[in-house]
Structure 1
């Protein structure tokens, strides 16, 4: 068990977790309270949609919607605040998604892809909710493959209009939030055609309903119907039958059409133009990662409180045993708690980078790094949420299956997070391709022997990006290497182990793909290597997340809190190593005795952290009103009473 004298300071933990946008988190805690924002189970679809729309209107009356928009149009020029505010909407994940659709995707696309005329005309109405809207990118036949969407926007120079058209059902816009009921306009992604030339995918603002809420001529709308979760969001399908919109409907920051039909763009290369356009929308992917993280925290807060209070079976002395005193139960919940902390700090770094991007000029390379990091963190965070919420449900037994205890709804609502804003498997491939691009740029001209020599000395400086924490990380690793064989809990050894795994996996993948030609052969080789590709992406993210955790601990000023965070970080990284023991053993990075020692250390750390588990979960700062689970609230009341009597 942990030393009684070591006690983490919950206030210090909260300050560290709240980070640079602590005021935004606190504003959410203070204002999203009361009956309107209390989680409610058992609503039918229309009741739920009505409630979420009422909540959305209440939020529209605050400063929250304007965080991510320009101050010239009623915003606050604070992109980081907008993502953090989104993360805090765990009282109802349908509200979280509805907020993301209206002010993140719909409004964000107008801001990122439009020009001043669009900003002045639409953003004040978007922020105030006078113009509810949709983000119509996904099609039934093309989800992740956005570049090959089939909706068309053909320019007619006689009338100076675009004709937006859905050629067949595979090209219908599908799963579009706000479309089935509330949206009045949509940002529609379509192939832009002038004359006989297709200029690729661009975005246009297309009205879809009249003032009375009826579909406009040529617009067909269908409700997607009942979903597994998120039924407060009115997902719908859209078809366009030669719908005409004015030339000015084109969001023309990256491509414009003159009255005579001539096309111009500040970016000549069509592929680069397309990926630049999509890159401006990275905020949505980052927001989903944060929202998933908060849902996992809520589940952990419920399950850990319950496990701390719930007794099951007798001790030899006759007293009953708390669930959280069982090692198996600790192993269910505490590594997940450690990973939630690790991902929280990685998410914070990601949001900081996104916010920096909005205030500073970013190079193409910086943008690619941001997109790659966002893809990786989103994939790992949403998978973590899905796994953690299921684990928490099981850890609460039958009580966790009751709707009133929130876990079934959290499970249902977050399940789709693994596939929207990018399918996670595709996103990890994107991460790996980014690593290979860095690798190719540096080593592409070298022969195999030269490459091997160069890689040995330079890999980490090329493929592993230089973050603010790198000097700290390198000091820890260098100190460990000088000492040789280190303790399992040595931070430098842990960092070196994950860096070494990433290096080995990416090097092996690069060599494997280097032996192939181009065209069909290259495709087949990449397809055959997809297991290796996904491994490279995951290894990279695991290393990045660990570094973020280490950097956060370094920022903690309270010694006892720092000590507990150190142990929590040990639990995170060693549980990652334990999960991948087979790889480390196969590749000689761990001996059999050392692999066993990793498992023993995970057990020991669970025991040491058990007394602090409730404090660590409470430090997330999710109000009881948002948890709204009787098994959590009763457990918290019992804990407070026990402290009062004992104190």
Structure 2
């Protein structure tokens, strides 16, 4: 098999290949390798300078409504945002706050009066803002935030107030230094009645950069990572803003204080409002994937030149990537990163089609997008944390040096697992949605269907206890259909079990919280099984669309390694519940070992195909490549081939 890097990169770049190429070129114009010895203030100033450079490039504007000078290319701008993960993650986060969270909230929660006044200034970076949702006492529980926005009909103003220390807005990006306005989320109160959480535009600094009257701004200080982002705290002391400061797409207040909304149910209104902000979660997942790709590129390229211990037959030291144990560290992680890359691409494409200007997204499609976004964000960010740590270890002491980039990747991505939604809470939301869908499917069955459903459940229990299931489900472990049967079987088994346990909460007088609390572990693994399956399906669908036969063949091996790594990682479930015998579980491990060996000759090609600009990987860790023999890894290109082709045989 001979695969060249550009062909594989085209498959990875996908629908927004031109955008990716543009961003790769633009990244060379920014200072994306900050000196680790910069002070916090110097780093923040550099990040803001780079942010303005992004604004001048015109790229952030592409995600906004064309009616206000934007490009209407939601998918393109999210793709471009994620690619900043190859450079400075502080810039990625600050850009996400400015154009994804602050600007995105104004665009999707506001109406023409807000768009006309603010969107151009937000797009151009003239008006820097914050997304003030999280409070010290309420993070994930947004529905019960304590900040209030009380309407005064006498003055036609809202009074924004922080009632106690727990209601302080906390960890807010752009707040400590640069933000002039905040989208503040608060409990909306009119005539003594609370209408739930809504968002309002609240100025926090004047033109001279001083806090507005009644606004207290604090600095979160030095963090474990992302110190180019000025995270701060906001306290509002009876701050007054005009009535039209309310972002009123989903709820409005008339001059006399009458509240109205196109969505009558408060809970449904709240979740609809948050659902429009799904772009943030999708963007975080994308940034996590690109950061992981960068870490793997560093570790695999280092592993292909770093030598340890002599091979007895030749007396020559062996490159560490030739050791199975080293391949085991990196290549399954690489395969899963490929899977998440394609799952993310599918998610971005669906978001783009649903949220493009003029699109009328069906509610069911939007809900499905939100569910997948929550699940993929959780899995992608957990994977980033684990994989980047593995890459650091795979590079030994060299991986611990700041100059070699991995420590900063570790520090900067660590918080990804808890911002834009704590991962555990996100998987609970996923579980709730898929359980609801499961309940609706069962409820729609007729009498015969319900009888068959009950018989299937009973048959499954018998098959599990007798071991018949493993015999009936026996198949080629490298066959995609068989892998999917195993993943779907696990997903459905866990979902049915969770539904059975949760049914007890419907009984009169049931301790609903106790039942839910006692089932949380089950719900989380059921949600994770669902995400594993949709990621597998996205990867398989992407491979099917690849026209280059050699690229498709290589991606099939990568996809197989990913699938079997997932199955191997949950061998206990598959054996305990009769989907695999003990012998077959051992065969999974043997297959993973074999696949690692098959992918070893292609490892450099696989990481080069991410298309990470070489300047973003330049560090002492890779200096050994200059002296390494090319025969140890990939053969050198022939005179007839362009120098950027990596041919493997």
Structure 2 residue aligned with 1:77: 72
**What SS does structure 2 have at the residue aligned with 1:178?**
coil
* Aligned residue in 2 for 1:502: 491
Moved more, 509-518 or 163-172: 509-518
CA distance, structure 2, for counterparts of residue 14 and residue 266 of structure 1: 46
Per the alignment, do residues 402 and 597 of structure 1 end up closer, same or farther by CA in structure 2, a change over 3 Å counting? same
Q: Paired residue for 1:621?
A: 611
Find the aligned partners of 1:267 and 1:35 in 2 and give their Cα distance. 45
How far apart are 1:522 and its partner, in Å? 2.1
Q: Determine the C-alpha separation between the residues in 1 that align with 2:24 and 2:542.
A: 23
Out of 329, 335, 347, the residue aligned to residue 344 of structure 2 is 347
**Does the 8 A contact of 1:153 with 1:163 survive in 2?**
yes
Distance 1:347 1:519, change over 3 A: farther
1:9–1:558 contact (8 Å) kept in structure 2? no
Quote the offset at 1:442 in angstroms: 2.3
Equivalent residue, structure 1, for 2:502: 513
Q: Which residue of 2 aligns with 1:572?
A: 562
How far apart are the structure 2 equivalents of 1:633 and 1:519? Answer: 68
**C-alpha contact 1:405 1:630 (8 A) present in aligned 2:** yes
CA distance in 1, matches of 2:157, 2:585: 67
Taking the aligned partners of 2:443 and 2:49, their CA distance within structure 1 comes to: 56
Give SS of 1:288's match: helix
Which residue is equivalent to 2:620? 630
Q: Specify which of 3, 8, 19 is matched with residue 3 of structure 2.
A: 8
Structure 2 partner of 1:65: 60
Deviations 1:523-544 (A, max 9, x none): 2111101111001000000011
In the alignment, does 2:422 pair up with 1:418?
no
Contact 2:214–2:237 (CA under 8 A) maintained in structure 1: yes
Q: 2:331 aligns with which of 328, 334, 352?
A: 334
Task: Please state how far the C-alpha of 1:251 moved relative to its aligned partner.
Answer: 0.4
The answer to whether residue 311 in structure 2 is matched with residue 315 in structure 1 is: yes
Alignment of 1:392-411 (within 5 A): 392-411=391-410
262, 271, 274: which one aligns with 1:275: 271
CA distance in 1, matches of 2:299, 2:272: 43
Deviation at 1:605, TM superposition (A): 0.4
Query: d(CA) in 2 for partners of 1:415 and 1:637?
Result: 34
Shift of 1:279: 0.4
Listed one character per residue, the Cα deviations across residues 242-287 of structure 1 (whole Å, up to 9, x for unaligned) are: 0000001000001111111111111111111111100000000000
Q: Residues 549-588 of structure 1 correspond to what in structure 2 (within 5 A)? A: 549-588=539-578
Distance across 2 between alignment mates of 1:381 and 1:446: 35
Distance 1:636 1:98, change over 3 A: farther
Say if 2:520 is the partner of 1:530. Answer: yes
Residues 11-20 or 393-402, more deviating: 11-20
Taking structure 1 as the reference length, the TM-score comes to 0.93
1:34 Cα offset (Å): 4.4
Residue 452 (structure 1) shift:
5.8
| 1:243 equivalenced with 2:232 (yes/no) | no
Aligned partner of 2:286 in structure 1 is 290
Q: In structure 2, the residue corresponding to 1:163 is in which secondary structure?
A: strand
- Supply the distance in 1 between the matched residues of 2:177 and 2:383 (Cα, whole angstroms): 32
**Cα offset for 1:193?**
0.4
Whether the aligned pair in 1 keeps the contact of 2:427 and 2:528 (CA below 8 Å) is yes
Q: 1:93 aligns with which of 89, 92, 103?
A: 89
1:38·1:628 contact (CA, 8 Å) conserved in 2? no
Q: 1:332 to 1:641 in 2, by over 3 A?
A: closer
Deviation at 1:47, TM superposition (A): 1.1
Rate the CA distance shift 1:216–1:455 in 2: closer, same or farther, 3 A: farther
Q: Residues of 1 paired with 2:454 and 2:437: CA distance?
A: 12
Verify the 8 A CA contact 2:428 2:527 in the aligned structure 1: yes
User: 1:443-462: CA deviations, max 9, x gaps?
Assistant: 2477999646237789xxxx
The 10-residue stretch of structure 1 (584-593 or 551-560) with the greater mean CA deviation from structure 2: 551-560
**Deviation by residue 1:288-339 (Cα, 9 ceiling, x = unmatched):** 0000000000000000000001111101111110010000000000000000
After superposing the two structures, state which structure 1 stretch, 364-373 or 608-617, moved more: 364-373
1:228 corresponds to which of 224, 228, 242: 224
Q: Alpha-carbon deviation of 1:644?
A: 4.5
2:295 corresponds in structure 1 to 299
Flag structure 1 segments of 5+ consecutive residues without an equivalent. Answer: 1-5, 459-480
* 8 Å Cα contact 1:428/1:538 also seen in 2: yes
> Corresponding residue for 1:49?
44
Shift of 1:63: 1.7
Asked if the contact 1:7/1:612 (under 8 Å) is kept, the reply is: no
Distance 1:452 1:334, change over 3 A: farther
Q: Secondary structure at the match of 1:89?
A: helix
The match for 1:115 is: 111
Q: CA deviation at 1:7?
A: 2.0
Match of 2:124?
128
The answer to whether the 8 A contact 2:30-2:53 is kept is: no
TM, length-normalised to structure 2: 0.93
> Structure 1 residue 389 and structure 2 residue 388: aligned?
yes
Task: Write out per-residue CA displacement over residues 188-242 of structure 1, whole angstroms, 9 at most, x where no aligned residue.
Answer: 0000000111011000000000111010110000000000000000000000000
Q: 1:38 deviation in Å?
A: 3.4
Change (3 A) 1:116 1:9: same
Match of 1:137 in 2: 133
Paired positions, count: 620
- 1:215 aligns to 2:215 (yes or no): no
1:20 aligns with 2:9: no
Q: Is the 8 A contact 2:473 2:579 kept in 1?
A: no
Partners of 1:311 and 1:618 in 2: CA distance: 21
Q: Give the structure 2 partner of residue 478 of structure 1.
A: none
1:546 is matched with which residue? 536
Q: In the alignment, what sits opposite 1:469?
A: none
Tell me if the contact between 2:504 and 2:510 (Cα under 8 Å) persists in the aligned partners.
Answer: no
Q: What is the distance in 2 between the residues matched to 1:168 and 1:311?
A: 59
Corresponding residue number in structure 2 for 1:461: none
Q: Distance in 1 between matches of 2:99 and 2:383?
A: 26
Q: Secondary structure at the match of 2:160?
A: strand
Partner Cα distance (2:588, 2:111) in 1: 55
SS at match of 1:231: coil
Q: 1:602 to 1:521 in 2, by over 3 A?
A: same
Equivalent in 237, 247, 250 of residue 254 of structure 1: 250
Counterpart contact for 2:34–2:43, Cα < 8 Å: no
CA shift for structure 1 position 24: 1.1
Q: 1:199 and 1:619 mapped to 2: Cα distance? A: 51
CA-to-aligned-CA distance 1:105-138 (integer Å, 9 cap, x gap): 0000000000011001000000111100000000
Match of 2:35 in 1: 40
The Cα of 1:9 is off from its aligned counterpart by: 2.3
Task: State the alpha-carbon separation in 2 of the partners of residues 532 and 355 from structure 1.
Answer: 33
| Residue aligned with 1:515, SS | helix
Q: Kindly state the Cα deviation for residue 564 of structure 1 after the two structures are TM-superposed.
A: 1.3
